Chain A
Amino acid sequence: DTEVTQTPKHLVMGMTNKKSLKCEQHMGHRAMYWYKQKAKKPPELMFVYSYEKLSINESVPSRFSPECPNSSLLNLHLHALQPEDSALYLCASSQENGRVAEAFFGQGTRLTVV
């Protein structure tokens, strides 16, 4: 199994809603990531988890709250988002063995904030 699975694929939410994005991988990877990708732009790193602990937060607003309940799952909790937060949210994972390995990406959740 070399997949990173993200749900839902599409999400429309109002600015007062609370929703969560989910990501799952069963490759035994211990590093997991959230990226944000706007149209026609490259992915931008948001968060990195290593061994279920948050290791990097790229100055992301607190309306985005990540959670890593176990080594296979990564969530992104959303609350009070703004229309400019509409984007493709990508989850990725990689091995965490002290050396660099390539990241495997999910298909993303296309989020629209109305």
Chain B
Amino acid sequence: AQSVSQHNHHVILSEAASLELGCNYSYGGTVNLFWYVQYPGQHLQLLLKYFSGDPLVKGIKGFEAEFIKSKFSFNLRKPSVQWSDTAEYFCAVNDKGSARQLTFGSGTQLTVLP
């Protein structure tokens, strides 16, 4: 079974700081990778996804993530955060074989101070 680790449980940054949230997964096969964001009181929204091709993927709101297969990682980055980026961020994985089951990491709460 696959598992997903997000080592940063709570990250606090000032506006304009750069962000990197870590995500590592344990499955050795071919995977699909996702980052979801959950703003306070709102539903999970897809930030970006990686299925194949260029390992550097760009998502909405200036976020990007890099898939490094050798490190089993899919870290999320943003060069300059805004107060409105305050939210919970979830990394998720599913293996191409199961096709449907998303396994989520434990989440990282990002707080951006104005």
Contacts and interface: CB of A to CB of B under 8 A. Distances in A.
Q: Do A and B come from one complex?
A: yes
Interface of A: 4, 31, 33, 40-45, 48, 50, 55-56, 90, 92, 94, 98-100, 102-108
Contacts of A40: 107, 109
Interface residues of B, number: 22
Contact of B44 (A45, A48, A98, A105): A105
Contact of B49 (A33, A90, A102): A102
B51 interface: yes
B113 interface: no
Given A40-B107, A43-B44, A55-B100, A100 B51 contact: yes
19 contacts: A31-B100, A33-B100, A41-B106, A43-B44, A43-B102, A44-B104, A45-B101, A50-B100, A56-B101, A92-B44, A94-B100, A100-B51, A100-B99, A102-B46, A102-B49, A103-B46, A104-B46, A107-B42, A108-B43
Given A105-B43, A107-B43, A43 B104 contact: yes
B86 to A, nearest CB: 15
